[in-house]
Amino acid sequence: MKLVFFGAPGAGKGTISKKLNEEYGLPQISTGDLFRENIKNRTELGLKVSSILEKGELVPDQLTISIVEMRTKNNDCKNGYILDGFPRTIIQAENWEKISPIDKAIYFDITDKEVMDRLSGRRVCPKCGQIYHILFNKPKKDGKCDNDDETLYIRPDDKEEAINNRLNVYHKQTEPLIEYYTNINKIVKINAVNSFEDVYSEIKSKLKLK
């Protein structure tokens, strides 16, 4: 099954796709994670995109599409995948439908206020990518990852100004995907304000996953 997860930043796409990956083995392909990995390893791509990510703007379409195309050629993607945070523009979506048509696009519906509350408290493990929240999903030990005891960090684009910018970019460039996937009958709308458990079971039931 080939799935797209889209919605405002902080809507829970990453957390839910990690869980679906654990339970069903569907690889999670997060363009944001791929870019951050390249920035961390100081690759040529990383150097190119680092300031774009920091400001909360979008990486150019063709560059993003080619990265996803390369990643999905891996053997682990032969039975499907979750595209987490891709596509984010109409151009990316149209191109991807030509390259490899998806089955369903899950739209995580959430308010801007909820996004702001979530992202400003988000903490991430630099090693395993596990996501926490200082109020809603605390690690067992303050500031440390439950899995590997690494010190958690705040993503530079989770600062207030960058969050506002990412929300503007989302409304302008990504929200039109709702209409695009509705028109090609692939949209599945999820109420992402609900608890993690509720969102997860709504997705499983709408995708008829056992």
Catalytic residue among 88, 104, 123, 186: 88
- Regarding 115 and contact with ligand AMP (CB under 6 A), the answer is no
Q: How many residues bind ligand AMP (CB under 6 A)?
A: 18
Q: Give the residues across from 131 on adjacent strands.
A: 124
Instruction: Provide the minimum distance between the beta carbon of 115 and ligand AMP in the complex, in angstroms, as a whole number.
Output: 11
How far from each other are the two terminal CA atoms of the chain, in whole angstroms? 14
Contacts with 121 (C-beta within 8 Å, 6 or more apart), sequence order:
133, 134, 135, 136
**Contact predicate 6/178, CB 8 Å:** no
Cα gap 102→100, rounded to integer Å: 6
Phi, psi of 162 (to 5 degrees): -70, -35
13 an active-site residue? yes
Q: Which is nearer to ligand AMP, 5 or 200 (CB)?
A: 5
For ligand AMP, which residue has the nearest CB? 32
Instruction: Provide the minimum distance between the beta carbon of 22 and ligand AMP in the complex, in angstroms, as a whole number.
Output: 19
Q: Active-site residue numbers?
A: 13, 88, 122, 155, 166
Residues that bind ligand AMP (CB under 6 A): 9, 31-32, 35, 52-53, 56-59, 64, 85-88, 92, 157, 166
